[in-house]
Each structure stands twice: as structure tokens, then as C-alpha cells.
Amino acid sequence: MTTVAVLCDPPRPGRVLPDLVASTPLSTDEAAGLYAALTKDTVRAVADSGGDLIVNSRPVEALDDAGHGPAGEEGTYGEQTDNDAEAELRAVVADVID
């Protein structure tokens, strides 16, 4: 059986796709929505392939130093925990995986 690891971050405005926001008319919220949709589509493709799926993300403290840009212009998230990050990713893929 093939195992596929999907490495992703929580889809937080200002933290994902910063180069896309900088070079297009997309807002940080729109980029976060796009990132969430891309993540969901990727997870669905792996799930539909019949392979074993692992969804993994960096710890929250690594997100702050990962070069994903400043806090979102439409709002900030304040103090986050690993449980928050996991919950955000679970919410994105909840209807795709059991």
C-alpha cells in the first residue's frame, strides 16, 4: 500500500500564499480560502487514490518563523496552539476523510 503525506499549514490569512497576495489582487482572506480549497482537493485526490493518507503540519511555533509573512491585514490570530492548528486543518478536510 502506498502512503502519501500531505504537508500543509493551517489556512490562516497572512500566513499562506504570501507571494500570491503580493503579486495579485487577492486579499489575504481570499488567499487563505484558496489555500484551504487546494488542501482539500489534494487530500481528496489522495483519499480517492486508495493510498494511505497522512496530513501533517509544522508546529505552531515554526509557523511564526517560517517566512509566511505578517499577521493577516484583515485580522490577527493572537496566541495559537498546536491544537488550534490541528483543529483548523481537520475542519478543512472533515468532509473528505472519515
- Residue 41, H or E segment: helix 28-49
What is the Cα–Cα distance from 74 to 31, expressed in whole angstroms?
12
Residue 43: the pLDDT is 96
How crowded is the C-beta side of 45, counted as CA atoms within 13 Å? 9
CA 84 centroid distance within chain = 12
3-52 pLDDT, tens digit per residue, is 999 999 999 999 899 999 999 999 999 999 999 999 999 999 999 999 99
